[in-house]
Amino acid sequence: VQLQASGGGLVQAGGSLRLSCAASGPLYRSDVIGWFRRAPGKEREFVAAMFRSGGNTYYADSVKGRFTTSRDNAKNTVYLQMNSLKPEDTAVYYCAVDRAGILSTIRRSDAYDYWGQGTLVTVSS
């Protein structure tokens, strides 16, 4: 499966952006769609994940209450709605697919099998 992330850009602190992750190829009920980010000079970190089966979502504490991930199965697309953005949210955001779909590992980047190319989000203060 190929993933195409889009929707990044420059936004002022307090603003909103919606990222999209379009999948070309089959997605299965057992898949987990994850969002990660890498800020300048930092390690890649978990942001959010959604189980395709049931739609349960999970978030990093740093984004909980501000970010929401959702899906449009008809379009094979997953979204990351980001509200109340902060300068520390500045990063390249990646979407990824985890075929195994094991809850205990969804926050680990090495659990994911396919990755999109990333989209840059810059939040100015």
* pLDDT-based confidence at residue 18 (cuts at 50, 70, 90): very high
> Looking at residue 73, what is its pLDDT?
86
Q: Residue 85 above 90 pLDDT?
A: yes
E strands, the chain, are: 2-6, 9-12, 17-24, 32-38, 44-51, 57-59, 67-72, 77-82, 91-98, 114-115, 119-124
